[in-house]
Amino acid sequence: MCGIFGYTGSKTNAAEVVLDGLKKLEYRGYDSWGVSVSGAKGKISVCKNVGKIGNATVKTLSASTIGIGHTRWATHGGVTKKNSHPHLSCDKNISLIHNGIIENYDTLREKLVTQGHTFISETDSEVAVHLVEQLRKKYDLTESVRKAFLKLKGLNALVVMESDSESLVAVSNGSPVVVGFGEHENMVASDADALTSHTKTVYYLKDSELVYVNKDTVTLFDTITGKRKSFKKIVLEHGEKASQKGEFKHFMLKEIYEQPQIITSIANDTTMPDRKLAQIIKESFGTYLVGCGTAAYACLAGSYLFSKVAKTHVNWAVGSEFGYHLDFLKNKSLVLALSQSGETMDILESVKKAKTKKATLACLVNVYGSSLFRESHYNFMVGAGPEKAVASTKAFIGMLSHLLLTSYALKGSYEDGKKTLLKASKSVKDLLGKDGIKSIKKLARKIAQVEHIYVVGRGWSYPASLEVALKIKEMSYIHTEGFAAGELKHGVISLITKGTPCIVFAPHDETYGANISGAMELKARGGYIIGVSNKDHEVFDYHISVKDALEGTIIPNVVFGQLLAYYLAIERDCDPDMPRNLAKSVTVK
């Protein structure tokens, strides 16, 4: 959630470099930000503010070749300047930024107060800088940070800078830190996307690793033992261009339009990773699909696809609840964890517990080298490219595409799966055409001021309903709920009043008749029926045409919902890239 960035190098505008890095981390979500540099006369100077960075500058900071910065998502303490990072030691010689939650901060704080330390903020993070300061009386900075970090309970990352020094120290356990290697400059960040304008050569810190960084050298240590470690750099496939909006006004719209090519690329991947995943599932004794938010709905959709196409039962669970399913895991159980970022804390904690049960862990992630990627026995990439908008679109569609192909591979009909996926890609292209966009824009204008929207479907249209409802509420702040159409009579129908928009998915499969019947029930109670189907029906008040693609129809149906959510956000003057209170990467519980 919080974003961290540190720079040391030959450039003297470290403050601007750090601020630019923070801007590239904005999609992670934040409510305040700050930058510190070691400048004139060896003094650390700090610039902090509440709200978005926007057009803010750091011109008040001294020229410097080293700096650190942070975007904060408030957990301990309100959204104020004093609670924003970086935090300073009492003597103002040490500056620190933090991601995570220090679970034992209150105990540490009490002891530090008795040792004479004065606290400025309400945060748990400030404890760390005073702890480093206390240890610095006996040890050098690297050893002080290492020993301080070992005293912290919880999953955390720190980056620390000292006045009159050209070096940074970063340490991680369960919270992401990436080192970027440049020419006479090196950097650290919470996400590799913040580094790609400088370098594509990186190293992802593993748990309990600490790194000492100056402009020409990077030294890695084991946090537990303090011993040096060797490491292997990797080169990222994507560069800065992949993280730019280009001709589009918003990242979300750009990422929606990228989806047909992503689907096609997955279908035509000659390495056929989904065949390998299918084989792993075949050899396991029970499979659990696990995800959070959007990824959880991909898991639910996968359970329908595996059942219908491959006649294979899989379980699914929300990441935060999966820990309560662990008693059913055994040796050779398979946990397939889905995550866009690969850093979702609820997923990471659950799968680590699953590994203690001797379960096999596979992941489907969109970020190479992420924590979940490193934690897993088997790694599968979504292959959607960098996703910058907070609300996931193309990563979700990529997950669905892989799960669809895997279900066909389990059936032994991989080529049929490719054909189905290519049909889905064609259907999405048609939806993104002039007529499709015009129809969705018109619908958005018509319903933009309503208070409630309901989305219903059966079979795999049920997880589609949940995902579309999530996108609409995230983007437009309209209360929107998705339901299984068969549950209407069990209470949901009491919510329908005259004019209530009801989106009904009606693909031409075995659910069509029942979905139409549900639409009639909703209309009889005054609902305004928005039918999403390949042909119109008299019960529809508004029809969105989506071409069927067999089981792949779930893909264009969800893309319709993404587009509607986007244009509702535009109509309501909401920011579709950074909706309020949300973060792209949820790295704390």
How many CB atoms within 10 Å of residue 479? Answer: 13
Whole-angstrom Cα Rg for the chain = 25
Per the structure block, which two tokens stand in for 248?
């589009």
Per the structure block, which two tokens stand in for 358?
């001797």
Please report, as a single letter, which amino acid is at residue 211.
Answer: V
CA atoms within 13 A on the CB side of 491: 2
End-to-end CA distance of the chain: 10
Using alpha carbons, list the distances in angstroms from residue 301 to 23, 314, 370, 531, 555.
34, 11, 24, 20, 10
Q: What's the sign of the alpha-carbon dihedral 377, 382, 386, 387?
A: negative
The residues, any chain, with a CB within 8 Å of residue 183's CB and separated by 6 or more, are none
Q: What is the rounded distance in angstroms from the CA atom of residue 368 to the CA atom of residue 383?
A: 9
Q: What is the rounded distance in angstroms from the CA atom of residue 48 to the CA atom of residue 84?
A: 7
Residue environment code for 142-176, b if the CB has 16+ CB neighbours within 10 A, otherwise e = bbbbbbbbeebebbbbbbbbbbebbbbbbbbbbbb
DSSP tag of 63: P
What residues are labeled active site? 2, 584
Q: Is 274 left (phi over 0), alpha (psi -120 to 50) or beta?
A: alpha
Q: What is the rounded distance in angstroms from the CA atom of residue 175 to the CA atom of residue 167?
A: 21
List residues bridging with 576 in a β-sheet.
none
Q: What is the rounded distance in angstroms from the CA atom of residue 119 to the CA atom of residue 490?
A: 54
Q: What is the rounded distance in angstroms from the CA atom of residue 336 to the CA atom of residue 362?
A: 5
Q: What is the rounded distance in angstroms from the CA atom of residue 29 to the CA atom of residue 390?
A: 8
Q: What is the rounded distance in angstroms from the CA atom of residue 577 to the CA atom of residue 156?
A: 27
The residues, any chain, with a CB within 8 Å of residue 564's CB and separated by 6 or more, are 440, 443, 444, 468, 471, 472
Contact at 8 Å (CB) between 463 and 304?
yes
